[in-house]
Amino acid sequence: MKRKWWHSAIGYQVYPRSFQDTNHDGIGDIPGVTDHLDDLVRLGINVLWLCPVNRSPMMDSGYDISDYDKIDPSFGTMEDYERLIEEAGKRGIRVLMDMVVNHTSCEHPWFRKAMEDPEGEYGAYYVIRKGKKDDPPNGWRSFFGGSAWERIGDTNFYYLHIFTVGQPDLNWENPQVRQELYDMLNRWLDRGIGGFRMDSINHLKKNFEDDGEGENPFSYCTNVEGIGEFLREMKDKTYGPRNSFVIGEVNGIRPDQLEEYAGENGYFSTMFDFTCMRYRIGTSFWKEKGRKMRKACRDEMFRVQEKVWGKALLCNVMENHDTPRAAERFYQQEHVNFYSKSMLAAMDFFLGGIPFLYQGQEIGMTDYKKDRIDQFKDFATFRLYEESLEQGISKEEALARLNVESREHARTPVQWDDSPWGGFSDRIPWFDVNPNYREINLANQKTREDSLYTFFREMIQVRKKEELQDLWIYGETKPFLENLEEIIAYERRLGERQAWVVCNTSTEKTEILIEERIREILLGNYPDRRSQAENCQDKDGRISLKPMELLIFC
């Protein structure tokens, strides 16, 4: 694999609305991110992915852009943004912009003009079709529930929105639309960003042969045959020649498409590996089956590692702004603690790939279970609630479902200290701070040796160790102890270099046998392990592991 600067990226995702408010309006902003750059340097990251900050009516939290060339005033100004890039650059951090080109906001001027004249020039910027009598053109569903078609006024035309009704899909078949978007991407690249995280990018092409009646209700808009032509052209005309780091948010390609998407000459530098995100004990399928779920996740995770090795580096992510927090997806409440959080993070972090952390993960922020539906804010969450009621579930049960499944859990404001509102703002924030901010916050973890934050810092240091860096990035991942259901263990190997990662995912202690003699313990989540490399194993090689213990050694 040809070396690229982003292979050694340690990424960190910021959801700016909930990161830090600096101008006392209860909404996180860009200067708030700039103010914390030194914290991020201290943590050890070098790439910052910032969720959308373009002008937006915020129907989907900025993923509905109404002006690609402006910063939303709630986040600050263009000067603020440029200053962030500059200050980050001074500290060796490159900023990735979250870019949404599958759709715009319904308040984008292109869409306004399209609504005035659906058959005119701007009508052709969107996916607009004639309805069938009083029905939409076909049975396509939106990802957030309901029809993907919305009627345009009292005409017989409908526009397509695969997400919320406020996010009309752009018509990528129109070369003029593509050129407008490429020019826009280039303007951002000229401002000195490190690259993009391309939102919903595998949905650009729609398949009109598919009427939406099939088994997969989203096949009409997901990796549709021919999308590659758009992706290739976009790359060639924008970031391709610029050595930029571009992450594709791509779900569910066929295994034989891996190199085409993320190989050396792929459309993207990398794509997220969502494997660990998809497994959740809270869903009805895995209820009461945590152990089985963790094993199933492990097996799939290793299959992905095997398929990818030598061909591409995927992005390892355990948390993001679209899912509940990791420990709560993998364990019952009583086991959501320092051990599960640290073990899960490291389990993912040392796999082959490019690791990304999500804000608050490093201090172990948790899901905030709400008492009332109106404490939620997000459209997709409300849709899930309505859908549950439509299925005949009671209001209490529907709320309980949101408390487990809502994607908003990870969006509560960052807990910096134990002052009111967790130091996020000095007034009531746009979204409630989790009341556990008095115990869980950065200030009380920053200098404590036994804190999760210190663990994360050490974890990043281990990944950046000069003599191990190539091993972590380019090494092969080989599972072992696979017959033990509750052990996730893998070897990383590159030529003569080797290191091992062992996780006891069980909430009970257990014992394993490792024939090799352990020379050095690189990281562990129980105190004293590191100083005890010699007596970690008995003379036969047995190691007793504590509940949810993690050990990394060579």
Residues that bind Ca ion (CB under 5 A): 21, 23, 25, 27, 29
Please report how close the Cβ of residue 516 comes to Ca ion at its closest, in angstroms: 53
Catalytic residue chosen out of the listed positions 199, 210, 362, 486? 199
Please report how close the Cβ of residue 437 comes to Ca ion at its closest, in angstroms: 18
Contact 498, 541 (CB under 8 A): no
**Site size toward ligand TEU, by CB under 6 A:** 11
Please report how close the Cβ of residue 378 comes to Ca ion at its closest, in angstroms: 19
Going from the C-alpha of 235 to that of each of 3, 178, 246, 367, the distances in angstroms are: 19, 12, 9, 37
Amino acid at 539: K
The residues, any chain, with a CB within 8 Å of residue 110's CB and separated by 6 or more, are 104, 122, 125, 126
**Partner from Ca ion, ligand TEU, none binding residue 529, C-beta < 5-8 Å depending on class:** none
Identify which of residues 19 and 268 has a Cβ nearer to Ca ion in the complex: 19
**Partner from Ca ion, ligand TEU, none binding residue 251, C-beta < 5-8 Å depending on class:** ligand TEU
Going from the C-alpha of 343 to that of each of 33, 225, 386, 502, 506, the distances in angstroms are: 28, 40, 36, 9, 11
Residues 57-96 that bind ligand TEU (CB under 6 A): 60, 63
**Partner from Ca ion, ligand TEU, none binding residue 150, C-beta < 5-8 Å depending on class:** none
Q: Give residue for tokens 């309805």.
A: 131
Q: How many CB atoms sit inside 10 A of residue 436's CB?
A: 15
Please report how close the Cβ of residue 311 comes to ligand TEU at its closest, in angstroms: 22
Please report how close the Cβ of residue 445 comes to ligand TEU at its closest, in angstroms: 28
Catalytic residue chosen out of the listed positions 169, 249, 458, 486? 249
- Binding mask of the shown chain, residues 92 to 121, with x at each position contacting ligand TEU by CB under 6 A: --------x---------------------
3-state secondary structure of 217: coil
What is the Cα–Cα distance from 50 to 361, expressed in whole angstroms? 16
Token pair in block for residue 146: 């309901």
Please report how close the Cβ of residue 379 comes to ligand TEU at its closest, in angstroms: 8
**Partner from Ca ion, ligand TEU, none binding residue 322, C-beta < 5-8 Å depending on class:** ligand TEU
Amino acid at 5: W
What is the Cα–Cα distance from 436 to 150, expressed in whole angstroms? 42
What is the Cα–Cα distance from 398 to 479, expressed in whole angstroms? 39
Helix axes 452-464, 466-474, angle to 10 degrees: 90
Radius of gyration of the chain (CA): 24
3-state secondary structure of 230: helix
What is the Cα–Cα distance from 288 to 409, expressed in whole angstroms? 21
Identify which of residues 141 and 464 has a Cβ nearer to ligand TEU in the complex: 141
Residue 405 contacts ligand TEU per CB under 6 A? no
Half-sphere exposure of 373 (CA within 13 A, CB side): 17
Name the nearest CA neighbour of 491 among 464, 469, 514. 514
Residue 251 contacts ligand TEU per CB under 6 A? yes
What residue is closest to ligand TEU based on CB?
63
Identify which of residues 29 and 405 has a Cβ nearer to Ca ion in the complex: 29
Residue 482 contacts ligand TEU per CB under 6 A? no
Half-sphere exposure of 221 (CA within 13 A, CB side): 24
**Partner from Ca ion, ligand TEU, none binding residue 277, C-beta < 5-8 Å depending on class:** none
What is the Cα–Cα distance from 448 to 462, expressed in whole angstroms? 19
Identify which of residues 63 and 196 has a Cβ nearer to ligand TEU in the complex: 63
**Partner from Ca ion, ligand TEU, none binding residue 23, C-beta < 5-8 Å depending on class:** Ca ion
Please report how close the Cβ of residue 526 comes to ligand TEU at its closest, in angstroms: 35
What is the Cα–Cα distance from 20 to 31, expressed in whole angstroms? 8
**397 assigned to active site:** no
Identify which of residues 27 and 115 has a Cβ nearer to Ca ion in the complex: 27
**Partner from Ca ion, ligand TEU, none binding residue 470, C-beta < 5-8 Å depending on class:** none
Residue 322 contacts ligand TEU per CB under 6 A? yes
Q: Where are the alpha helices (DSSP H) in 249-349?
A: 258-262, 275-278, 290-308, 326-330, 338-349
Residue 387 contacts ligand TEU per CB under 6 A? no
**Partner from Ca ion, ligand TEU, none binding residue 25, C-beta < 5-8 Å depending on class:** Ca ion
**Partner from Ca ion, ligand TEU, none binding residue 163, C-beta < 5-8 Å depending on class:** ligand TEU
- Binding mask of the shown chain, residues 193 to 232, with x at each position contacting ligand TEU by CB under 6 A: ------xx--------------------------------
**199 assigned to active site:** yes
- Binding mask of the shown chain, residues 263 to 302, with x at each position contacting ligand TEU by CB under 6 A: ----------------------------------------
Q: Where are the alpha helices (DSSP H) in 311-378?
A: 326-330, 338-349
Residue 143 contacts ligand TEU per CB under 6 A? yes
Please report how close the Cβ of residue 23 comes to Ca ion at its closest, in angstroms: 4
Identify which of residues 321 and 329 has a Cβ nearer to ligand TEU in the complex: 321
3-state secondary structure of 85: helix
Identify which of residues 358 and 500 has a Cβ nearer to ligand TEU in the complex: 358
Going from the C-alpha of 89 to that of each of 47, 86, 235, 394, 485, the distances in angstroms are: 10, 5, 24, 52, 45
Enzyme catalytic residues = 199, 249
**Residues binding ligand TEU (CB under 6 A):** 60, 63, 100, 143, 163, 199-200, 249, 251, 321-322
